[in-house]
Amino acid sequence: MIIEDKNFILKSFSKKDINPNYLKWVNNKNLLKYSRNKKKIDYNSALDYLKSHDNKNNLFLKILKKKGNKVIGTFTIYIDKKYKIANLGILIGEQSERGKGFGYKIYKLVINFLLKKKKIIKIIVGARKDNTPMINICKKLKMKFFFEERKKKKIIQNFYLKNKNSNNSVGIFLGDHGAKNQILAYLNYKKNLNINTIQQYKQSLKKFKKINIFNDLKKLIFVSDYLLIGTGNNNFEKKILKYFHEHKVISCSVIDHFSSIKERFEFKKKLYLTNEIWVFDKLIYDRLPKNFDTKKKLKKNYYFNYLKEKTLKKNKKYITYFTEPFRKKKGDKYRPDYYSMKYFLENIKKISKFSRYKIQFKLHPKDNKFYIKKILSNEIKKVNASITNKKLEDVISETKYAFGLTTMALIISSKLKIPTYHCKLPNQNIDLIKSYSIRPFYQKSLDIN
């Protein structure tokens, strides 16, 4: 391979290039103060290093300055052919040629060659945090910082440059069900995205064609242009948030509900925010904590659009109560929503307009069917109510009237113009959804229009 312009030419480094001058460079401690290699290099070890480059995917090039036909340094290119990513490194070994801005010019030459001639999608350069000249070159090349790591007690910062003509690549961590639904709908509408994920989410993402499964989190980060993580109460995703925070990974998080927002980012009493927070509903956006020092974005609600399509012209034969896993307070026999569900079951058939519809409970993904059956067995039998684990979109499509407390399913049903009611009782301390057309079911006279 030969890369050249009017000032420089880069071509394969050969055995004959392992000369006293080259060995002087690679044993100069001041010259290699930012290098990970601290061992003395002799002819044989230099030859072994040369042989480790196959000149196909791993390229070891010498840099010649055309004026004087003088070798002034070396350049390495490591290409991942599957993902079309190139990792670059440079050494300007000739002392008299350092500090002249050649590093920037040579990087620019190589990057243009790789993007245009070799159809490389992404260029990556890693540099020690204290290597100011190299960091400045990355910034001058308009590369973006995306990942920081520690190697032998030294901090390495990684920068990338993307081929503008290539499709975006996103790393996906689905999180709890609400965030998962929003992310899946987002991916479904963004047709040209390449999706990267880990084994845990493979089944949920199987319908997408452009998907790569990784066992190595770092590799996934390097391949992705941005990372999207669903929030919730799972420690698994919280550990990923912690990893992103510690390594300064550029990432976005998805919030699907206004409850416990701060807790979604807390792990072992520490807060781990992402660079951006995405929400898909203005109600949630308005409730985001003002003291969160991060970008907040209100995105188009693709999941709602999907549900809207699913619910058109369906036979709506159910009154649905959407449950949610409230926590039982210390000393209480039942969790707070028990009394709301009991009131609902005891009174729903007293109102004529509801009497002809079947009643079902749609379980929240984290709720327990046997718990609901146990605490409400008599009331469920009296109205012949059923309990379902079906997908939210399937339940919404067959729902004539929607009931619940604070679940996002009520926002969705309300926006879909399904008559929607909350079942908060007068003595309950529950933070309701105060927007949208959600009416109270509790009435002294039960005269609900």
Could you tell me if 299 and 366 lie in one domain?
A: no
Q: Which of 282, 306, 330 is the last residue of a domain?
A: 306
Q: Say if CB 399 and CB 417 are below 8 A apart.
A: no
Tokens of 322: 């959407």
Please report the pLDDT score of residue 443 as a whole number.
78
Could you tell me if 290 and 399 lie in one domain?
A: no
CA separation for the pair 97, 412 (Å, rounded) = 65
Tokens of 122: 């992404």
The vertex-257 CA angle with 251 and 258, nearest 5°, equals 100
Could you tell me if 320 and 259 lie in one domain?
A: no
- Is residue 327 domain-resident? yes
CA separation for the pair 249, 251 (Å, rounded) = 6
- Length of the chain counted residue by residue: 449
Could you tell me if 317 and 295 lie in one domain?
A: no
Q: Which of 91, 124, 157 is the last residue of a domain?
A: 124
Could you tell me if 173 and 291 lie in one domain?
A: yes
Please report the pLDDT score of residue 449 as a whole number.
45
Could you tell me if 413 and 316 lie in one domain?
A: yes
pTM, 2 dp: 0.86
- Is residue 160 domain-resident? no
- Is residue 252 domain-resident? yes
Handedness of CA 49, 52, 54, 55 (dihedral sign): negative
Q: Say if CB 354 and CB 401 are below 8 A apart.
A: yes
- Which residue is listed with tokens 């039960």? 446
Q: Which of 93, 124, 155 is the last residue of a domain?
A: 124
Please report the pLDDT score of residue 437 as a whole number.
85
Tokens of 441: 């079911």
Could you tell me if 259 and 298 lie in one domain?
A: yes
> Digits of tens for pLDDT over the chain (449 positions)?
799 999 999 999 999 999 999 999 999 988 888 887 778 999 999 999 999 997 778 999 999 999 989 999 999 999 999 999 999 999 999 999 999 999 999 999 999 999 999 999 999 999 999 999 999 999 999 999 999 998 878 899 999 999 988 999 999 999 888 899 999 999 999 888 999 999 999 999 999 988 999 999 999 999 999 999 999 888 999 999 999 999 999 999 999 988 889 999 999 999 999 999 999 999 899 999 999 999 999 999 999 988 888 777 677 899 999 999 898 888 889 999 999 999 999 999 999 999 999 999 999 988 989 999 999 999 999 999 999 999 998 999 999 999 999 998 998 999 899 999 999 999 888 888 776 689 999 975 454 44
CA separation for the pair 276, 435 (Å, rounded) = 25
- Is residue 378 domain-resident? yes
CA separation for the pair 335, 241 (Å, rounded) = 30
CATH number at residue 176: 3.40.50
- Is residue 135 domain-resident? no
Could you tell me if 399 and 356 lie in one domain?
A: yes
Half-sphere exposure at residue 327, Cβ-oriented, CA atoms within 13 angstroms: 5
CATH number at residue 332: 3.40.50.2000
Q: Say if CB 11 and CB 64 are below 8 A apart.
A: yes
Classify 79 as helix, strand or coil. Answer: strand
Could you tell me if 217 and 290 lie in one domain?
A: yes
- Is residue 149 domain-resident? no
CATH number at residue 47: 3.40.630.30
For residue 331, what is the DSSP state?
A: T
Could you tell me if 430 and 328 lie in one domain?
A: yes
- Is residue 413 domain-resident? yes
CA distances from 315 to 159, 166, 312, 397, 421 (A): 54, 44, 9, 8, 20
Could you tell me if 295 and 325 lie in one domain?
A: no
Quote the number of domains for the chain: 3
- Is residue 142 domain-resident? no
DSSP 231-269: -SS-HHHHHHHHHHHHTT--EEEEE--STTTGGGGEETT
Domain around 369: 312-440
Could you tell me if 411 and 338 lie in one domain?
A: yes
CA separation for the pair 340, 352 (Å, rounded) = 20
